Structure 1
């Protein structure tokens, strides 16, 4: 899970990332006249985030929407059920994102955003904020980095780096693969972080629907942090509809 079960942290004042969300939000409001609305809904056998399950291996129902302006500014909201340790009383996650993303030339696209992880009605404060950036080449190759001074809900820094690629087989089927490492301060965990990888087969059928089968794997540092029942190897199947 995103926040280790044994850690309780104090509430904190608004971060610079939160202030950045406000500034970008003002810009998006000014761009609203040319805004586009999109969204998605997903049924998955397991909600896996950065290699670890967020639902103890149980299914999840997820949905989100995104408002995008002509300038590239956008705002999105996304939600899922979660299942953390009983003492957290966490049952849902809401993610709020404000950012800018646009193609910079024929080959390259860029996205920079601020993401807020929110867990309503929890017994302890699990909420935190992350700054993310992604560079995409020809729509099929990407590298991303995320940084937070309150990583995984701690008062400590963490930096997440990922590289991935899509390999189209035909118009309906593609393969996706990625590798990542999460660098974490020793105030968060005893190790310097952990690595994980995933491999997906994606079948797009009947318009907006996609069926995805993903194999996830983490290293031994992840299982040392989260436990064998949360990290390690697992298979996830998901059906998604986009609009």
Structure 2
């Protein structure tokens, strides 16, 4: 996700994306016993950290991940976007290089570098973020992200999130997240643009547990603090709902 204004990177987006892609391929194919997986979704609205990336329009999304026994992995993910019409941004590609594995029976850790690329735009909106996630019992997690070019600006931002899921049976589960984006240093305008957001989802499995591909229907209610509406605009933030059909394979 990026914001409605150009960033001030020194490296062109195409060069940055190519370098990240080369690193991912090199790391992935060196991993022993590599496993390939994928995911896809059709959603009524692409919502990222509380704000819509498609002005409330549907999005088609697809991603692939290759992982080795060592825990090293690389992934690529894509979606259509329309958050900044004046920049002609119409597509987003996320490239991730990371490492993750279990720490005993209950705990797991993941650290990664995530690069957001917008090759279709007339402006350089690309940016990169360092992320870490700790998971407990597979149902509770906390994440922290940092970037010195948050949202495509040339300033830092820190993002924190906690989440949980509650399976009711083999088919139905609920998920909830609460996030806070610390953007007080953003754009050097001496205004605190930090905001909070949250969501609650109901997810219904349409295929039997353990089957591949797995197909699910998801309904999510999102909300943000008023600061998000001040920052992004009330047409992009605030309260909204999202329905999606998603699959993993």
Q: SS where residue 56 of structure 2 aligns?
A: coil
Alignment coverage as a number of residue pairs = 238
Matching residue of 1:8: 6
Moved over 4 A (4+): 17-27
Question: Would the aligned equivalents of 1:181 and 1:195 in 2 still touch at CA under 8 Å?
Answer: yes
Contact kept? 2:8, 2:152, Cα under 8 Å: no
Q: Deviations over 1:13-70 (max 9, x none)?
A: 49xx999997776544321x40000001100000000000000000000000100101
Describe how 1:126-205 pairs up with structure 2 within 5 A: 126-188=125-187, 190-205=191-206
Q: How does 1:1-243 map to 2 (within 5 A)?
A: 2-5=1-4, 7-13=5-11, 26-31=26-31, 33-188=32-187, 190-206=191-207, 207=211, 208-243=214-249
Q: How far is the alpha carbon of 1:185 from its aligned partner?
A: 3.2
How far did 1:192 drift?
4.2
Q: How far, CA to CA, are the matches of 1:136 and 1:187 in structure 2?
A: 29
CA contact (8 A) 2:20 2:95 kept: no
In structure 2, C-alpha distance between the alignment counterparts of 1:20 and 1:44, rounded to whole Å: 27
In the superposition, relative to structure 1, how do residues 54 and 223 fare at CA in structure 2: closer, same or farther (>3 Å)? same
Cα distance in 2 between the residues matched to 1:179 and 1:187: 21
TM-score normalized with structure 1 length: 0.92
CA distance in 2, matches of 1:61, 1:234: 18
> 2:126, 2:41 → 1: CA distance?
23
The alignment partner of 2:229 has SS state of helix
Contact 1:217 1:232 in 2 (8 A): yes
Give the secondary structure class of the aligned counterpart of 1:122: coil
Tell me if structure 1 keeps the 8 A contact 2:158–2:182: yes
In structure 2, relative to structure 1, the CA distance for the partners of 1:168 and 1:75 (3 Å cut) is same
Instruction: Quote the offset at 1:152 in angstroms.
Output: 0.2
Structure 1 distance, partners of 2:21, 2:199, is: 30
Paired residue secondary structure (2:78): strand
Where in structure 1 are there 5+ consecutive unaligned residues?
none
TM-score of the superposition, structure 2-length normalised?
Answer: 0.90
Q: Is the 8 A contact 1:43 1:240 kept in 2?
A: yes
Contact map agreement 1:24 1:73 (CA 8 A) in 2: no
Partner Cα distance (1:24, 1:125) in 2: 22
Deviations 1:188-238 (A, max 9, x none): 363241000000001112241011000000000000001111000000000
